[in-house]
Structure 1
Amino acid sequence: MKLGTLRGPGRDGTLIVVHEDGQAYTPAGATWPTLQAALDDWERAEPALRKLSEALKQGTVQAQPLDVSKLHAPLPRAYEWVDGSAYINHIVLVRKARGAEPPETLRTDPLVYQGGSGVLLGPTDDIPLRDEQWGLDFEAEVCAILGDTPMGTTALEAERHIRLLCLANDVTLRNLIPNELAKGFGFFCSKPATAFSPFAITPDELGDVFKDGRIHLRLRSTYNGELAGDPEAGPEMHFSFFDLIAHLTKTRSYTAGTILGSGTVSNADRARGVSCLAERRMIETLDDGKPTTPFMRVGDTIAIEMLDAAGRSLFGRIEQKVVKA
């Protein structure tokens, strides 16, 4: 099942059920006007929405053509946006880029931070940038949207709490990070609003490529019209979504509508390219002694999507342009 959120009325938009080809939709209806409403009542909402999805597929319900530019993020605002960093290669490279050592618990204890969730960007929203000196970067990620998830959830229990999956561009201001982290209190100004894919899909839509808490497909990033990278999202995700959920719930519970990010998808194989510019710049530094790729500037574009074996865009395409704020 594929879901999306049309803009308006109100800030939380209107929940829609989307055809599997991403070209048409039907409204979810008054009972579940928003995705958050559906997540809050998932036991009743899921089967009803699946019936609509099947009717849309069979052509027995009225369908409307879908204009992706009219979509907000699946959750225009979320109760929590918690981002992990599950790819070891990414952690090592970006730590080197800012002259920091990886933590001693790199492979045993997940890294997470809590980002802003009150303002989330839609898939075609511009990325506003006030100062190019701040070092704007994209970060291509996969995400899970959770239902109510109690404290003490184990990795073996975690799968039952994943309601939907989507993609994200976790926008980062790289040059603001070192001074923030030096204060010993984590990211804040260096993490502006995150953008999300047009569609959130139920895990069963992925079939056997969603296994062991990982999505075993390539995540494709196209920067200024050229392929930046298409790394495998599965094999090198050191901490799975199940592991991340177990870590998050060590000391507290999470409410339905929490979004959990994987962190920047990254492979050790350089042939797979990169999912952020910080990695490219670090590779240039290792090879040539200094980075040559600039961070994003006004006018630059980034597109992020994930294709299945048949070449279909599962979550739709994040496609953004940097504009002067």
Structure 2
Amino acid sequence: MKFIRFGQPGAEKPGLVDASGTWRDLSGVVADMAGSTLGQDSMRRLAALDVASLPVVPAGTRLGPCVGGVGNVVAIGLNYADHAAEAGLKAPGQPIVFNKHNGAISGPNDDIWLPPGSAKLDWEVELGIVIGERAFHVTEADAMRHVAGFCLVNDVSERAYQMEYEGQWVKGKSYPTHCPIGPWLVTPDELGDPQGVDLWLEVNGQRCQTGNTRTMIFGVAHIVSYLSRFMALQPGDVIPTGTPPGVGMGMKPPVFLKPGDVIRLGGRGLGEQQQRVVPSPLA
């Protein structure tokens, strides 16, 4: 199944996409696509619904982030060997873990804000894992039982903040609007093998990134199991899993985003996003 959230920012309602591509309103069934709604029992009940009886979402309605109430965005860095190479960094022997502040989350087609004075704003198309059941010290073999589904993520990154300022990467990853997720939360049965997902990204119509999750250094099950050794993952947590090559930082010379640029990205089974870069309201 494909689940959505729709409506104005901060007032999104839950929904789903039926077999014909029609958006259906789930707000009469569940309060949100968040928390316990993402658990296995709840998802089985939603799968058994008479979808045709659900109200249709009006055309032109905004799509919000596909998961609500996200407590943590726990991301994996340098998870494609060819991306590590373009960044001039050694491929890691263990997953590189960093956080994006949950205040960075935005809808899949919302504008991206360019921070005041920013000159190194970059893009990263990624497969995102959405946790459905609490995961704490889970084995790799059991990890997928704790996954509600997957979504497309644009891990927008301000490279100066990330690489040139002292401290951790989180500063370069957390500006508002710098974590578009969606359009859909796709259940594992709908997506199929998460290690066979084509990913792509374009800037102003020019293809920049083309990759496939089969070339990830650390796969989905390993990532969930690994993280659960150090933290108790909670329902609704989102885990961006790294990006294939083609980011602006890796181009020669580097290319970064500016106001008016349009980013379009997608993945097999994950849908598409499109964002326009605009100056931050505080600029």
Would you say the 8 A contact 2:128–2:239 is kept in 1?
A: yes
Please show how residues 104-143 of structure 1 align to structure 2 within 5 Å.
Answer: 106-131=91-116, 133-143=118-128
Would you say the 8 A contact 1:137–1:277 is kept in 2?
A: yes
Inter-CA distance 12–69: structure 2 relative to 1 (3 Å threshold): closer
Normalising by structure 2, report the TM-score. Answer: 0.89
Deviation sequence 1:163-193 (CA, Å, 0-9, x none): 111110011011222233xx3x312331123
Would you say the 8 A contact 1:219–1:305 is kept in 2?
A: yes
Distance 1:257 1:161 in 2: 11
Letter paired with 1:81: V
Question: Is 1:87 equivalent to 2:85 in the alignment?
Answer: no
Distance 1:47 1:31 in 2: 13
Question: Is 1:263 equivalent to 2:242 in the alignment?
Answer: yes
**Could you tell me how far 1:306 is from its partner in structure 2?**
1.6
Partner of 1:61: 53
Percent identity over the alignment? 22
Specify the SS of the correspondent of 1:198.
Answer: coil
Inter-CA distance 66–153: structure 2 relative to 1 (3 Å threshold): farther
Inter-CA distance 297–25: structure 2 relative to 1 (3 Å threshold): same
Inter-CA distance 232–188: structure 2 relative to 1 (3 Å threshold): closer
Partner of 2:271: 316
Q: What stretches of structure 1 move > 6 A for 4+ residues in a row?
A: none
Inter-CA distance 62–39: structure 2 relative to 1 (3 Å threshold): closer
Specify the SS of the correspondent of 1:141.
Answer: strand
**Could you tell me how far 1:15 is from its partner in structure 2?**
0.7
Partner of 1:311: none
Specify the SS of the correspondent of 1:91.
Answer: helix
Please tell me the root mean square deviation across aligned C-alpha atoms, in Å: 2.2
The structure that is helix-richer by fraction is 1
**Could you tell me how far 1:37 is from its partner in structure 2?**
4.4
Would you say the 8 A contact 1:158–1:242 is kept in 2?
A: yes
Question: Is 1:306 equivalent to 2:267 in the alignment?
Answer: yes
Distance 1:62 1:218 in 2: 32
Would you say the 8 A contact 2:124–2:154 is kept in 1?
A: yes
Letter paired with 2:233: Y
Partner of 2:156: 171
Specify the SS of the correspondent of 2:265.
Answer: strand
Letter paired with 1:72: G
**Could you tell me how far 1:142 is from its partner in structure 2?**
0.4
Inter-CA distance 67–200: structure 2 relative to 1 (3 Å threshold): farther
Partner of 1:44: 41
Contiguous gaps of at least 5 residues in structure 2 = none
The structure that is strand-richer by fraction is 2
Distance 1:83 1:7 in 2: 27
Question: Is 1:188 equivalent to 2:170 in the alignment?
Answer: yes
The count of aligned residue pairs is 276
**Could you tell me how far 1:157 is from its partner in structure 2?**
1.3
Inter-CA distance 132–316: structure 2 relative to 1 (3 Å threshold): farther
Would you say the 8 A contact 2:210–2:244 is kept in 1?
A: no
Distance 1:230 1:67 in 2: 31
Distance 1:253 1:305 in 2: 30
Distance 1:43 1:231 in 2: 30
Would you say the 8 A contact 1:32–1:45 is kept in 2?
A: no
Specify the SS of the correspondent of 1:70.
Answer: coil
Higher-Rg structure is 1
Distance 1:66 1:147 in 2: 28
**Could you tell me how far 1:130 is from its partner in structure 2?**
2.8
Distance 1:117 1:239 in 2: 24
Normalising by structure 1, report the TM-score. Answer: 0.78
Distance 1:12 1:255 in 2: 22
**Could you tell me how far 1:156 is from its partner in structure 2?**
1.3
